[in-house]
Amino acid sequence: MDVDKQPLRIGLIGFGCVGQGFYDIIQQQPELGLAVTRIAVKSPSKPRTLPAERFSFHADELLDDPALDLLIEVIDDPAEAFRLVSAALRQGRRVVTANKAMLARHLPELVQLQAEFGGTLLYEAAVCGSIPIIRTLDGYFSHEPLHAVSGIFNGSSNYVLTRMTEEGSDYGPALAEAQAKGFAETDPSLDMGAFDPRSKAVILAAHAYGVFLNPDEVLNLGIEGIGAVDIAHAAVQGRKVKVVAGLYRLANGRVTALVTPQFVGPESPLYAVEQEFNGVVIEAKYADTQFLRGRGAGGHPTGSAVLADVLAIQRGFRYGYAKQAAAPEAQLTADLEVDAYVRHADAGVLREALTWLELPAKALQTDAHGAFATGPVAVQQLWAWRKELRTAGIFVARVGEVRPVAVLAPGVTKAAVLA
């Protein structure tokens, strides 16, 4: 390194997959002039690839160290991550994070803290790992009206679905394989329950539409209830089951968000996004349809995204959130309808699900692969019964676009309209 040039002194909070990946990359590129001068981790006893004296066990020591030019937060715990990142921004610091759950929950405050104290927060690694989707939406598409931004944002569940599709296997063995290969966590509920891609959709909404959503108000349905039979039902139609996280501009000008399994045909670029890969489709008014695909996880791909943020901060880059000034209203569950596929192996449970979702008995069908139901379902009903659907292991997938529905006149029931 040039002796005249001071390296950028980085404080790294967290040394798991992403932290270690980032550390590896910059060790291999000394010409970048970046130095990880302090690393904070939680557990003093965990075996690590660096000598113990390299670590601090109190992240607050890094916050208190004025010699650090930039902080990177890559820990698991969203509450602790928010405490650290918000404290750093209150000091006007430059911060990079990859914590999507934390961001989805606190983005408005974090944007506010940057405005108030002059710090900068970048988080490209939080959504779709190595794919530069946030800066593409925030910068390149800053003023482009977007019809939709949708994609496969969770590599773990996509890996499980790909294995089930390729091998005809059931959910349990496919999940076990994903866990054995390190593509799924020991507690898979955030990934398989579609909580993780929901966080990512909420983050993208801020950049694609200038809309700050509360993740708790966005419907997410997972794949815990999926079986080989559902893959087979999709295949009969020439489609695959994918967990699609989507932001959609509705015909009424509002924006909705939905994260659910979906039957996806080969006309969609998402059909070909397999294994642990991620993909995003941007449907733009003028630029037309764009598609990006890349690795959504892994130490090096995600570490590379963190590095890109560090270098961008050095160049003075910050997100513009340009669409915030004229953001559309959100319409998350009310007065929306989607064509759904609903299945459970137990006929009694399936019939009960039909009553929850206000589907008529004629929605029930049986084919060589077994019984299921299809029909238009109010997103409100899916929302109202989401916990019961999950607990009962009922598999629900979208088979068409989400759309606003006309509000029924007083006294007119949906059953009467459908009859």
| Residue that the structure tokens 């999507």 belong to | 100
16 binds a second copy per the rule CB under 8 A:
no
- Residue from 6, 27, 29, 355 touching a second copy (CB under 8 A): that is 29
Rounded to whole angstroms, how far apart are CA atoms 404 and 10? 48
Stretch that binds a second copy, among 225-233, 306-314, 345-353, 377-385 (CB under 8 A): 306-314
Catalytic residue among 100, 200, 242, 323: 200
| Residue that the structure tokens 């139609």 belong to | 237
Pull the structure tokens for residue 260. Answer: 């659910």
142 binds a second copy per the rule CB under 8 A:
yes
Q: Give whichever of 190 and 282 is closer to a second copy, judged by the CB atom.
A: 282
146 binds a second copy per the rule CB under 8 A:
no
Task: Give the three-class secondary structure for 168.
Answer: coil
Neighbours of 278 (CB within 10 A): 27
User: Residues 307, 164: contact at Cβ < 8 Å?
Assistant: no
- Residue from 180, 251, 315, 406 touching a second copy (CB under 8 A): that is 315
Q: Which of residues 54-93 bind a second copy (CB under 8 A)?
A: none
- Residue from 7, 17, 25, 91 touching a second copy (CB under 8 A): that is 25
Stretch that binds a second copy, among 81-89, 198-206, 234-242, 307-315 (CB under 8 A): 307-315
- DSSP codes, 342-364: EE-SSHHHHHHHHHHTT--GGGE
Phi (first) and psi of residue 386, to 5 degrees: -60, -35
- Residue from 256, 303, 358, 385 touching a second copy (CB under 8 A): that is 303
Q: Which of residues 112-131 bind a second copy (CB under 8 A)?
A: 124, 130-131
207 binds a second copy per the rule CB under 8 A:
no
User: Residues 295, 276: contact at Cβ < 8 Å?
Assistant: yes
Half-sphere exposure (Cβ direction) of 267: Cα atoms closer than 13 Å: 2
* Beta carbon of residue 219, minimum distance to a second copy (angstroms, whole number): 29
- Residue from 186, 286, 407, 415 touching a second copy (CB under 8 A): that is 286
Closest CA to 371 of 227, 258, 167, 248: 227
* Beta carbon of residue 31, minimum distance to a second copy (angstroms, whole number): 7
261 binds a second copy per the rule CB under 8 A:
no
Pull the structure tokens for residue 20. Answer: 């270690």
Question: What are the C-alpha distances in Å from 125 to residues 97, 100, 107, 308, 321?
Answer: 7, 9, 15, 9, 17
Q: Give whichever of 124 and 337 is closer to a second copy, judged by the CB atom.
A: 124
Residue 194, Ramachandran bin (φ over 0: left; ψ between -120 and 50: alpha; else beta)? left
Stretch that binds a second copy, among 87-95, 174-182, 226-234, 301-309 (CB under 8 A): 301-309
Q: Which of residues 321-360 bind a second copy (CB under 8 A)?
A: 326
Pull the structure tokens for residue 120. Answer: 């900068």
- Residue from 78, 294, 370, 393 touching a second copy (CB under 8 A): that is 294
At 8, which helix (H) or strand (E)? strand 8-13
- Judged on CB neighbours under 10 Å (0-12, 13-18, 19+), 292 is middle
Judge whether 200 counts as a catalytic residue: yes
* Beta carbon of residue 376, minimum distance to a second copy (angstroms, whole number): 32
Pull the structure tokens for residue 396. Answer: 């629900």
Q: Give whichever of 271 and 383 is closer to a second copy, judged by the CB atom.
A: 271
Closest CA to 110 of 382, 309, 100: 100
Rounded to whole angstroms, how far apart are CA atoms 253 and 250? 5
308 binds a second copy per the rule CB under 8 A:
yes
* Beta carbon of residue 316, minimum distance to a second copy (angstroms, whole number): 8
144 binds a second copy per the rule CB under 8 A:
yes
* Beta carbon of residue 319, minimum distance to a second copy (angstroms, whole number): 11
Q: Give whichever of 154 and 333 is closer to a second copy, judged by the CB atom.
A: 154
Rounded to whole angstroms, how far apart are CA atoms 271 and 265? 6
Positions annotated as catalytic residues are: 200
Chain residues in the site for a second copy (CB under 8 A): 21, 25, 29, 31-32, 124, 130-132, 135-136, 139-144, 269, 272, 284, 286-295, 298, 300-301, 303-305, 307-308, 311-312, 315, 317, 320, 326
